[in-house]
Chain A
Amino acid sequence: MADGAAAVSLHGVTKQFGEDVTAVDNVDLEIRDGEFFSLLGPSGCGKTTTLRMIAGLEFPTDGSVRIFDEEMGLRPPNKRPVNTVFQSYALFPHMNVYDNIAFGLRMKRVESDEVLSKVNEAIDLVRLEGMGKRRPNELSGGQQQRVALARALVNRPKVLLLDEPLGALDLKLRQAMQLELKDIQNEVGITFIYVTHDQEEALTMSDRVGVMNEGSLVQVGGSEEIYESPSDLFVAGFVGEMSFLAGEIAEPGTVRLSGGEVVRARTASAAGTKITLALRPEMVHLFDDRSEALAGRNAVDGSIARKIFQGDSMFYEVDIGASGSLDVHVENLPSMKRWEVGDVVVVDFHPEAALALPL
């Protein structure tokens, strides 16, 4: 587990392509040894470019990349103690599974009997026993992915870089592989840097997450912190579901919504600041009238505008008048009441669940 030493540190790392395209803008980041760290963000946010700069497949226009406190500079990828699992797997089509996995070891001039034992160990680790003689085009997507993983891990790099490795797999397989990857990381103890645009994936697998948008690193923190305390509107909207209401801060701890309602919320700015109130749908409860609402919480009147059955839960869109509408997520427990469109309801939420985020 993380022991505090920095496996990878980026200082002021910037990457520009030509004159106009800034793919990565002044990123400062420290990734701890033994950590499972995810870089999360939408397509084009610079997370893959950042990863490639750690790998040595791109060089920063500005800033420094250090791996275990060694400045990498213009060092080519073959001189760095990192290995990459590519999004397209990049398995060598003219070699079989064994030779693919053995490639890195052979490049390091490892003795052939040592190669044999290490490759077999790697094959067992990713559970591909017996597949050694097969060619990549004879394998399924999931199997190819595991070969790519074994090919990188067998070299026991100090840091493993993974570029959206599960993107091409179907949902069930992806979820299974997420668990497997986590297990492997625990077993092997190597630092994993994982790039993905799937926020659920990042939150479930990582020790810490770095959210990126348009080249900048917007927020870094543990999964819970990112989810419950997003630092700005972008992170709030990108991670999980959110309802947004416009308003301004009346006084610290209190927000006046655009429709006039006054609610208590988590604020961090001065009175008068225009903010957007962010609420997670599962933090909002519905009651028939105010008397049922819990004390110490906010209560707002509204009516059901839409309802969607989602299997284990109900999704309601509640119209609260001039202020807008709130999304509500209610689990379909036997005791829970189910409302219909048009029902008049009271929306209730704890002040701690409402985030007043500056525009």
Chain B
Amino acid sequence: MTLTRERQAHEGPANPELERRARAQESWRGFFHALPAYVYLILFFALPLIIVFVFSFASRSSTGKPRLENWNLDGWATLTDPLVRTIAIRSFTMALLNTVLCLLIAYPFAYWIATRANKRTRTLLLIAVLIPFWSNFLVRTYAWRMLLDSDGYITQFGEFTGLWGRMLFTLPGVFIGLVYGYLPFMVLPLYAALERMDWSLVEAGRDLYASGTEAFRKITLPLSKPGIIAGSILVFIPSLGAYVTPDILGGAKTTLLGNLIVTQFGDARNWPAGSALSGTILVVMLVATLVYFRTGGRTV
């Protein structure tokens, strides 16, 4: 196959028909290589999405399972409920705040790792960041619950120094848990962007009379923007649906989008409404991901 092609490169297509068949064969091979991925995506991604979408137009039944008759827009009507809007805004704000906090903590941290001279040190530090996240999510969250409780160590320390009291079932407590859970998603893209940076640009900036801070603001920061965007989206989107951490650390006093959807499929026995809500959030997430690929996905 290769020999034929090499010869053709020198003499021009000796046999156009042969060439056409070779090219067709190549694209068929490509298709078959991708087939398993296509099947997987269709079965586990497209199909569930379609099911959810279909269910959102179905009608409720007493058992909760949707009746595939009497198609209506009742499920979608719940979206207009002012309560839903309040909950959505609450989830949105929480996700936004989580993203901002993660960014503020992750950036200096990622910068620190990226500026360690020894490559092995950097790799070790990165692995060290990931290890806590190989442990079970619930265990980690309950550990925080214990730490933030009245007799927990954090509370004891806070009372001793006079800085804070019991943080369990308070908003700061919830955010400690949230930031804890999502920090690596912000650290890794930031680190990737900073690691890839051309540091001679910073040297050029210093040579051109910029102080360390100015060089950071005008050169490093703008060039790490793709990392900031990527990290923000990787934290923000999943945060929209987060509800377990707020439940465990916040005392299940507030309802978020996640809780809302779960109850629709459970206690409220309103699958169409649940489907409509899930569908909407999925669309929002898909759009945001598209935005990511258009802007944050590449370097300058």
A contacting B, Cβ–Cβ less than 8 Å: yes
Q: Residue-by-residue, is B191-208 near A (CB-CB < 8 Å gives 1, otherwise 0)?
A: 000000010110111111
Q: B193 → chain A, closest Cβ, in Å? A: 13
Question: Is B204 in contact with A86, judged by CB distance below 8 angstroms?
Answer: yes
Between A55, A83, A92, A151, the greatest number of chain B beta carbons within 10 A of the residue's beta carbon is seen for A92
Interface string of B268-300 (1 = CB under 8 A from A): 000000000000000000000000000000001
Chain A residues in 8 Å Cβ range of B172:
none
**Total count of chain A residues near the partner, CB < 8 A:** 23
Shortest distance from the beta carbon of A65 to any chain B beta carbon, whole Å? 15
Query: Is the Cβ of A78 less than 8 Å from the Cβ of B206?
Result: yes
Kindly state whether residue A342 has any CB partner on chain B within 8 Å.
no
B97 at the interface (CB under 8 A from A): no
**C-alpha spacing A57/B134, complex, angstroms:** 42
Nearest-CB residue, chain A, relative to B200: A90
> Which A residues touch B108, using CB under 8 A?
none
The reply on B248 being an interface residue by CB < 8 A is: no
Q: Is the CB of A94 within 8 A of B208?
A: no
Chain A residues, Cβ within 8 Å of B219: 92
Q: Are B210 and A90 within 8 A (Cβ)?
A: no
* Chain A 54-95 near chain B by CB (<8 Å), digits 1 or 0: 011100000000000000000011100011101010111110
Which of A82, A90, A94, A151 interacts with B203 by CB under 8 Å?
A90
* Smallest Cβ-Cβ distance to B223: which chain A residue: A94
Q: In the bound complex, do residue B206 and residue A57 qualify as a contact, i.e. CB atoms below 8 Å apart?
A: yes
How far apart sit A57 and B203, CA to CA, in the bound complex (Å)?
Answer: 7
Task: Number of B interface residues at 8 Å Cβ cutoff, please give it.
Answer: 19
**A57 closest partner in B (C-beta):** B203
Residue numbers in B under 8 Å from A333 (CB-CB) = none
Indicate if B44 sits at the interface (CB-CB under 8 A): no
Q: Which of A101-109, A239-247, A314-322 contacts B (4 or more CB under 8 A)?
A: A101-109
Contact partner, A94, options B207, B211, B300, Cβ 8 Å: B300
Q: Is the CB of B200 within 8 A of A107?
A: no
- Residues on the A chain within 8 Å of B40, using CB: none
Q: Of A83, A88, A91, A92, which contacts B207 at CB under 8 A?
A: A83
Residues from chain B with Cβ under 8 Å of A92 in the complex? 201, 204-205, 219
With a CB–CB cut-off of 8 A, which chain A residues contact B210?
78, 103, 107
Q: Are B208 and A83 in contact (CB under 8 A)?
A: yes
CA–CA, A312 and B165, complex, Å = 90
CB nearest neighbor in A for B201: A90
Residues of B within 8 A of A83 (CB): 207-208
Chain B nearest CB, measured from A56 CB (Å):
8
Q: Using an 8 Å CB-CB cutoff, how does the interface string of A160-192 with B read, 1 for contact, 0 for none?
A: 000000000000000000000000000000000
Instruction: Provide the bound-state CA to CA distance between A93 and B298, in Å.
Output: 13
Q: Across the two chains, which residue of chain A brings its CB closest to B209?
A: A107
Complex CA distance for A78 and B205, rounded to whole angstroms:
8
Within 8 A of A (CB), among B208-229: 208-212, 214, 218-219, 222-223
Residues of A within 8 A of B201 (CB): 90, 92-93
Q: Do B203 and A77 touch across chains, with their CB atoms under 8 A apart?
A: yes
Q: Is A155 an interface residue (CB 8 A)?
A: yes
Could you tell me if B200 and A104 are in contact, using CB atoms closer than 8 angstroms? Answer: no
B209→A76 contact, CB < 8 A: no
Contact of A108 among B200, B209, B222 (CB under 8 A): B209
A152 to B201, CA, bound (A): 14
Given known A90-B200, A94-B222, A94-B300, contact A107–B207 (CB-CB < 8 A): no
Residues of B within 8 A of A76 (CB): 206, 212
Residue of B nearest to A151 (CB): B208
**In the bound complex, how far is the Cα of B145 from the Cα of A5, in angstroms?**
73
Given contacts A107-B214, A108-B209, A155-B209, contact A90 B222 (CB under 8 A): no
Q: How far is the CA of A88 from the CA of B210 in the complex (A)?
A: 19
On chain B, the residues within 8 Å of A84 by CB distance are: 204, 207
Restricting to A13-44, which residues have a CB under 8 Å from any CB of B?
none
A55, B207: Cβ atoms under 8 Å?
A: yes
Q: How far is the CA of A304 from the CA of B243 in the complex (A)?
A: 90
Q: How far is the CA of A344 from the CA of B198 in the complex (A)?
A: 60
Chain B residue contacts of A55, Cβ below 8 A? 207
Residue of A nearest to B222 (CB): A94
Distance in Å from the Cβ of A112 to the closest Cβ of chain B?
Answer: 16
CA–CA, A155 to B219, complex, Å?
19
- Alpha-carbon distance between A83 and B204 when the two chains are bound, in angstroms: 9
Question: Which of A251-290 touch B at CB < 8 Å?
Answer: none
B-chain residues with CB within 8 Å of residue A91 when the two chains form the complex: 204
Question: Which residues of chain B are near A82, meaning CB under 8 Å?
Answer: 207
A-B contact pairs, 29 of them (CB 8 A): A55-B207, A56-B207, A77-B203, A77-B207, A78-B206, A78-B210, A78-B211, A83-B207, A86-B204, A88-B198, A88-B200, A90-B198, A90-B200, A90-B203, A90-B204, A92-B204, A93-B201, A93-B223, A93-B300, A103-B205, A103-B210, A103-B218, A104-B208, A104-B209, A107-B210, A107-B214, A108-B209, A151-B208, A155-B208
Q: Could you list 15 further interchain pairs (A-B, Cβ under 8 angstroms) beyond the known A57-B206, A77-B207? A: A76-B206, A76-B212, A77-B203, A78-B207, A78-B209, A86-B200, A88-B198, A90-B200, A93-B300, A94-B223, A94-B300, A103-B218, A151-B208, A152-B208, A155-B209
